[in-house]
Chains A and B, each alone.
Chain A
Amino acid sequence: MSRVDEVRFGVVTFPGSNCEQDAVHALRHLGYRADYVWHQDTNLNDYDALVLPGGFSYGDYLRCGAVARFSPVMSEVVRYAEAGRPVIGICNGFQVLTEAHLLPGALIRNKGLKFLCQTVHLRVEQSVCKWLDLPTGIVLDIPISHNEGNYICDDDTLARLQENGQIVVRYCEPDGSRLPQGSAPNGALDDIAGICNPRGNVFGLMPHPERVTDAVSGSNAGSVFFTAIATYAREVAGR
């Protein structure tokens, strides 16, 4: 593998994004190049991977991610994703990806109708996701911070997600075992915290791995969400 600092991430910034600086900080801390990509920019060629960060794009007015998906950059993001290139959507970014139909399903209000900011246990599932390269069953402690993280989809979609290995991470007990049914902190269907597309290059998750990548948080559990993608990104880019 070549030097990590050759990998360049683009962090898309919509009006109202507020975790873009956290993502850039985390990526630079991990030794990558990371730049802000303004939502009106449409040239994504320079980036090996894209991050759609958390926040409240367009104030989350109307519906989370519903307005952001019409930003000029998004049609390019769709093209980028369809070319098999890596895209990760974190929290609001996940919501934007579902609104843009790059990922199935939707994220609705947390079941307790309250914003939740807390650390959760995430179990890594066996999946086709290119963003994670970890043994199945590993447990990662990552914070969530959202009001609308309750994943839903129809039965057929759920069956497809399970069948295709598109469920990437689930909320779980501290030891990695499944939660009692319906007890995910936000009420997510099948305890889904993150899913990918069938090809595995587009990944959306509600938790914030970028917040746990340097010493200040007392954990670097989130780093693995960014370190595995480099090799793949370079392959797709033909480098």
Chain B
Amino acid sequence: MSEDTKIPTPVADSIETLDPELAAQVAIQLGLTAEEYQGVIDVQGRVPSLTELYIYSLMWSEHCSYKHSKKQLRNFSSEGEHVLQGPGENAGVISVGDGWAVAFKMESHNHPSAIEPYEGAATGVGGIIRDIFTMGARPIACMDSLRFGTLDKPRQRYLFEGAVAGIGGYGNCLGVPTVGGEVYFEEAYEGNCLINAFAIGLMREENITRAVGSGPGNLVVLIGSSTGRDGIGGASVLASQEFDEAAENKRPAVQVGDPFEEKLLIEVCLELLKRGLFVALGDLGAAGLTSSASEMASRGGVGIDIDVRKVPQRESAMQPFEIMVSESQERMLAVVKPEDFAAVEQVCKRWSVACTAIGTITDTGRFVVRDSSLTAGNDIVADMPAEMLATSAPEYDPPMLRPAYLDELQSEDLSWLSRENKSAAVLSDELLSLLASANICSREWIWRQYDHQVQSNTVLLPGADAAVVRISDTGRGGSTNRGLAMSTDCNGRYCYLDPYVGAQIALAESARNLACVGAAPSAITDCLNFGNPEKPEVFYTFHKAILGLSDACKYYGIPVISGNVSFYNESFGNAIYPTPAVGMVGVVDDISQVVTGAFKQQGDTIILVGQTEDELGGSEYLKVMYDKVTGSPPALDLELEGDVQKVVREAVRDGILQSAHDCSEGGIAVTLAECCIVGGIGAQIDLDDELPAVTSLFSESQSRIVVSVNDEQVNELINRLQQAQVPYSVIGETGGDNLSIEGKIELSLVKITEVYRESLEQLVKQR
């Protein structure tokens, strides 16, 4: 609390406060520290009531207040001419031209999913989609960034299958296509899977809506589902603590989703927004009504007065604090002018959606909670300064310590790897092992469970380097031939071995994926998944990852318009790999020019843009063949990366390329195999790079893209590469029924296709 902050005068003359000793105990039980509890007393000027204490414990929880991350997050810049809304709202918004704007955000739902994967993942999708239509945008696509332990463990198969089913179950019902995403399986995520859901929505620029309460006398209206005891304490119980043996007991804190209700809410809210009947709109997410109402009041500099008894309840005898902190899903909070309320009711009735005025906007600056079942005059159960509640949570500067493992692993000598003289037969078998790896093989088993085409705007099927959807308000309004390219990326292994470089690579890979479909990055959202921030080693990795990501964003001028931090991703004291997932969006100027990674026809020239170095540290090869996660991750030269992307992006836009595919996990051997498999065409390759065979095939050097180009365009492309001074090599030609890499790999297209396509299903079905 700063010295000059003026706390508005309380509304209540008297309020039933807790016994001071009891209050201090309850505060600790609710997850506040002794110092934080003292902060509550300072802000309130007295001992809090039970309801107030619950509210503070949630609003000041890590999940709601970002108390450990706030200072670090200030490194990010959200500046950009096209940025219409940066962080601080339900989602960020950018202009994408011709009066269209998109809102997008990525958010974690890790902890609930680790306990109950179907509902955890489903409500993760529900939550992120509410964030999007709250801004006035129609949700047009979802992606998911997922992490699990390895599939040889039954529990991991259960989590993975359940989460995928939950994502599909919710998104499919809403009619929002899930068009892409990523998944990795690694021991580090065994006790704490990651479910990061990304959603994007489309609107006309003038329709942006914000959750800013205003106009004393206006009604505060709750729309959607009734309120129950589900998800009570989700933010503090689940999201702000580590897991231990008692995790199973936390199951009641996981919410249950009703996608049908949410589908109705989307239609109701978008119709009401279009008709201008909302002054403000916010969704009820973590900490439910408490955070939604107090943030709305705080942003608008007003007060809010709510009667909990007016909130429709699905369970009997709910206490005021339970109503205030319930995380029942599919609820929205709107501010409506009194004269518009009848019209709002009418629209809601048409869609059979409940809508109830539960309070009013006031000019007191106080967040007042009443229980009208109590006697008048004594009915106030909480009376807090709204702005202080929402914004004055403590901010921490946690200690950092460079983990000892970093130096040890980074300096590991891996030269023995490339000294091994392996025959083509052995190398071919190794490539098959990589293609069968859960981290590389086809994700079709996942995405065929997602409706990836509804809304009829999906330009590329999932599995492409980047997802592309047409900018079109299908069946309602304008359609264009422009598109949105999007990708989510993060290699947690790289981030574990070097959080700074690893985070930069996450950004670079996203941008490279966009380049492959001809799009430049417009902005990113992020979902920063880490362990317990109170551990100095963990916080060091968080700090470094943020620096890496923000430095790279600034270098390329990419604004960070929204994001989410998920801490305490630990189980039994072991943290996950630092996983700063990036969700990037860019614009495709002409969707007819988009290419995929698939080889298109016989006889095209295959060119490697970029250059392979000896970089097997942190590679999938090292993990799959030797079960090691060690070494330094590949280096990233931001300038070279930018040049490689630019030349490929422009070549795609100008229609010069037949295909473009980013080199990532598994190296160029895997990239080439994927181009062949998806295209159904073989390739004859000679990697004349003077590197040892293993390095040449499987090194994960960054800034590389494999492209194919027909005879007429070869010279044009080579000219452009030379002019851009980008290293490249002509490595072969498409054609035949084999993937042949001179002296190194000889495999039939049939074989690699079978292994690549069937592996994931086999891994899931093993018993």
Is A37 part of the binding interface, using a Cβ–Cβ cutoff of 8 Å?
A: no
Q: Measured between C-beta atoms, what is the minimum distance from B468 to chain A in Å?
A: 9
Whether A19 contacts B175 in the complex (CB less than 8 A), given A59-B258, A59-B260, comes out as yes
Q: Which of A54, A116, A217 has the most CB of B within 10 A?
A: A217
Q: Cβ of A149 < 8 Å from any Cβ of B?
A: no
Contact status A115-B451, CB under 8 Å: yes
Are A56 and B263 touching (Cβ within 8 A)?
yes
Residue from B172, B447, B457 with most neighbouring chain A CB atoms (10 Å): B172
Indicate whether B259 reaches chain A with its CB closer than 8 angstroms.
yes
Within the complex, which residue of A23, A61, A114, A216 is in contact with B449, where a contact is CB–CB below 8 Å?
Answer: A114
Known: A24-B475, A118-B448, A216-B470. A211 touches B453 (CB 8 A): yes
List residues of chain B with CB within 8 A of the CB of A40. 350
A54 to B: closest C-beta gap in Å: 8
Q: Chain A residue with minimal CB distance to B175? A: A18
Contact B475 A22 (CB under 8 A): yes
The answer, yes or no, to whether B55 is at the interface (CB within 8 Å) is: no
**Chain A residue at minimal CB-CB distance from B476:** A21
Q: Are A208 and B453 interface neighbours, CB within 8 A?
A: yes
Closest to B452 in A: A117
Q: Given the complex, which residues of B lie within 8 Å of A24, measured CB to CB? A: 475
> Closest residue of chain B to A185, judged by CB?
B448
- Residue A60, interface by CB 8 Å: yes
A216 CB, nearest partner CB in chain B, Å: 5
Asked whether, in the complex, the Cβ of A216 is within 8 Å of the Cβ of B456, the reply is: yes
Residue of B nearest to A118 (CB): B448
Q: How many of A's residues come within 8 Å of B, CB to CB?
A: 35
- Decide yes or no whether A72 CB sits under 8 A from chain B: no
Q: Cβ of B260: which chain A residues have Cβ within 8 Å of it?
A: 15-16, 56, 58-61
Q: Which residues, 49 to 78 on A, are CB-close (under 8 Å) to B?
A: 54-56, 58-61
Give CA–CA (A82, B456) in the complex, Å. 32
A60-B173, A116-B448, A117-B450 known; A216+B263 contact, CB < 8 A: no
Nearest CB on B from A92, distance (A): 10
Q: Would you give the 0/1 interface string for B445-483, flagging 1 where the beta carbon is closer than 8 Å to chain A?
A: 001111111111111000000000010101110010000
Question: In this complex, which of B454, B455, B458 has the most chain A Cβ atoms within 10 angstroms of its Cβ?
Answer: B454
Q: State whether the Cβ of A48 lies closer than 8 Å to any Cβ in chain B.
A: no
Known A21-B476, A59-B258; contact A117-B456, beta-carbon cutoff 8 A: no
In angstroms, Cα B458 to Cα A55, docked, is 17
Q: Is B555 interfacial (CB-CB < 8 Å)?
A: no
Once the chains are docked, how many angstroms separate the CA of A214 from the CA of B448? 22
Report how far A211 CA is from B455 CA in the complex, Å: 8
> Is there contact, CB below 8 Å, between B458 and A217?
yes
Q: How far is the CA of A22 from the CA of B473 in the complex (A)?
A: 10
| A178: interface (CB < 8 Å) | no
B592 touches A215 (CB 8 A): yes
- A167 CB within 8 Å of chain B: no
Residues of A within 8 A of B165 (CB): 114-115
Which chain B residues lie closer than 8 Å to A116 at the CB level? Answer: 448-449
Q: Are B352 and A15 in contact (CB under 8 A)?
A: yes
Binary CB contact string for chain A from 194 to 236 against chain B (1 if under 8 A, 0 otherwise): 0000000000000010110011110000000000000000000
- A145-B172 contact, Cβ under 8 Å, with A56-B260, A115-B449, A117-B448: yes
How many angstroms from the CA of A210 to the CA of B259 in the assembled complex? Answer: 23
A20: B residues at CB distance < 8 A: 475
B303 → chain A closest CB, angstroms: 36
Q: Does B280 contact A (CB under 8 A)?
A: no
User: Which of B174, B451, B476, B592 touches A117 (beta carbons < 8 Å)?
Assistant: B451
Residues from chain A with Cβ under 8 Å of B258 in the complex = 59
Min CB–CB distance B556 → chain A (angstroms):
29
Interface residues of A in 129-144 (CB under 8 A from B): 143
Contacts known (A211-B456, A216-B470, A217-B456); A18 close to B174, Cβ less than 8 A: yes
Q: Which residues of B contact A143 (CB under 8 A)?
A: 453
**Chain A residue at smallest Cβ distance from B462:** A117
B701 to chain A, nearest CB (A): 33
Interface residues of B in 217-265 (CB under 8 A from A): 258-261, 263-264
A21 to B: closest C-beta gap in Å: 3
Interface contact A59-B449, CB-CB below 8 Å: no
Q: A16-B263, A59-B258, A214-B456 are in contact. Are A115 and B475 (CB under 8 A)?
A: no
What residues on B are CB-neighbors of A214 within 8 Å? 456
Q: What distance in Å separates the Cβ of B198 from its nearest Cβ neighbour in chain A? A: 18
Chain A residue nearest to B263 in the complex (CB): A16
Q: Is the CB of A115 within 8 A of B168?
A: yes
Give bound CA distance, A26 to B474, whole Å.
9
Q: B351 at the A/B interface (Cβ < 8 Å)?
A: yes
Of listed B175, B455, B476, B592, residue having the most chain A CB within 10 A = B175
> Is residue B591 within 8 Å, beta carbon to beta carbon, of the partner chain?
yes
A23 to B479, CA, bound (A): 15
Min Cβ gap B307→A in Å is 29
From B264, B350, B447, B452, A16 is in contact (CB under 8 Å) with: B264
Q: Name the residue on A nearest B450 (C-beta).
A: A117
B492 to chain A, nearest CB (A): 27
* Cβ-based interface call for A25 (8 A): yes
Which residues 143-184 of B have a CB within 8 angstroms of A?
165, 168-169, 172-175
| Closest chain B residue to A17, Cβ basis | B175
Question: Are B173 and A56 in touch, CB under 8 angstroms?
Answer: yes
Distance (whole angstroms) from the CB of B366 to the closest CB of chain A: 39
Bound state CA distance, A211 and B260, in angstroms?
A: 22
Whether B174 pairs with A59 at a CB distance below 8 angstroms is: no
Interface of chain B residues 354 through 409 with chain A (CB within 8 A) = none
Q: Which of A56, A210, A214 has the most chain B CB atoms inside 10 A of its CB?
A: A56
Q: Which chain B positions have C-beta within 8 A of A28? A: 475
A to B CB contacts below 8 Å, 27 in the list = A16-B260, A18-B173, A18-B174, A18-B263, A19-B454, A21-B475, A25-B479, A28-B475, A58-B260, A59-B260, A59-B263, A114-B165, A114-B448, A115-B169, A116-B449, A117-B172, A117-B448, A145-B451, A208-B453, A210-B456, A211-B454, A214-B456, A215-B592, A216-B457, A217-B453, A217-B456, A217-B458
Question: Contact residues of A with B, CB < 8 Å?
Answer: 15-16, 18-26, 28, 40, 54-56, 58-61, 114-118, 143, 145, 147, 208, 210-211, 214-217
Where the two chains meet, the residues of B that have a C-beta atom closer than 8 Å to any C-beta of A are 165, 168-169, 172-175, 258-261, 263-264, 350-352, 447-459, 470, 472, 474-476, 479, 591-592
In addition to A16-B264, A54-B454, A61-B260, 17 A-B residue pairs with Cβ atoms within 8 Å of each other are A15-B264, A15-B352, A18-B175, A19-B454, A21-B456, A22-B475, A25-B474, A25-B475, A58-B260, A59-B258, A114-B165, A115-B165, A116-B448, A116-B449, A117-B448, A145-B451, A211-B453
Considering the complex of A and B, which 3 residue pairs feature the smallest CB-CB distances, nearest first? A18-B175, A59-B260, A21-B475
